[in-house]
Amino acid sequence: MASSQLPRHISRQFDNELESIRERVLNMGGLVEQQLVDALKALTDSDIEKGEAVVRKEPSVNSYEVSIDEECTKILARRQPAAGDLRLITAVIKTITDLERIGDEAEKVAQMAIYLTGKQGAKSYYIGINSMGNFVREMVSDSLDAFARMDSEAALKTAAREPESDEQYAAILRQLVTYMMEDPRSITSVIDAIWTVRSLERIGDHARNICEYVIYFVEGKDVRHLSIEEMQKQMSA
């Protein structure tokens, strides 16, 4: 099965409740994605206003997580869902946790951008990091699109890109270590850059997690901690 619509029930109210939480997850995802875009812009353009805006909006991401979680808990208690409905609620609860963590990492990038603004020589270390940032932002966007359409094949395709973010992370680390070896005076700035690229690598991990939850809902199979090849086998079994 490539994709799945939300389950339909005799109770229209139940349908409305499920559609409501789906829409709220997507709204939360849109906010988180914009947080990441603004954090990267703050970093590459030394834009303090963008960075501060990301920090100010971070509590809104937390509020989404809490309210959606509460709504899911009420549905579990009131409806006692089973099968596909239960998988959907489980996938939503796990997805909002990863979205909140993406928001946390975006805030870290924004805070680092604010800290580094005006520091001599710091910006040059972030040229390659911007490319990785755009890559993981696309992963987040594609994972949310797979969630919106409940498309397991699209989710698998996006999850398969995660190793590339790991490769970019390793390549940037090697470059940063070279900077430190060539100029010991750069050590402090390079360490700051390492923390930033580590946040981006984690965002890629969280995007893959969201894809795994989509596969779990659509296919009814837990593919966490599996390689892409193993995930493909599970989905085709």
Query: What is the rounded CA–CA span in Å between residue 165 and residue 206?
Result: 12
50 within a domain of the structure (yes/no): yes
- Give yes or no for residue 185 having a pLDDT over 90: no
Q: Is residue 2 part of a domain?
A: no
34 belongs to a structural domain: yes
Burial code (b: 16+ CB inside 10 Å, e: under 16) for 41-60 equals bbbbebbeebbbbbbebbee
Per-residue model confidence (pLDDT) at position 3: 62
In tens, the pLDDT along 46-83 reads: 899 999 999 999 999 999 999 999 999 999 999 888 88
Q: Is residue 232 part of a domain?
A: yes
What does each C-alpha distance from 109 to 30, 87, 150, 204 come to in angstroms? 18, 33, 30, 14
Domain count for the chain, please give it: 1
Q: What is the model's pTM?
A: 0.92
List Cα–Cα distances, 204 to 13, 68, 188, in angstroms: 36, 23, 25
56 domain-assigned: yes
Residue 56, domain CATH: 1.20.58.220
Within-domain flag for 6: no
Range of the domain at 31: 12-236
The verdict on residue 4 lying in a domain is: no
User: Would you say 116 and 122 are in contact if contact means Cβ atoms under 8 Å apart?
Assistant: yes
Can you list the alpha helix ranges (DSSP code H) found in the chain?
12-45, 48-79, 83-116, 127-149, 152-159, 162-182, 187-219, 228-236
Higher pLDDT, 7 or 24: 24
Residue whose C-alpha is closest to residue 39's, from 115, 145, 122:
115
Note whether residue 197 is domain-resident: yes
Between vectors from CA 226 to CA 19 and to CA 155, what angle results, nearest 5°?
35
Residue 151's DSSP bridge partners are: 3
> Nearest 5°: phi and psi at 130?
-60, -40
**pLDDT tens-digit map of 83-140:** 888 999 999 999 999 999 999 999 999 998 888 776 655 556 677 788 999 999 999 9
d(CA 139, CA 141): 5
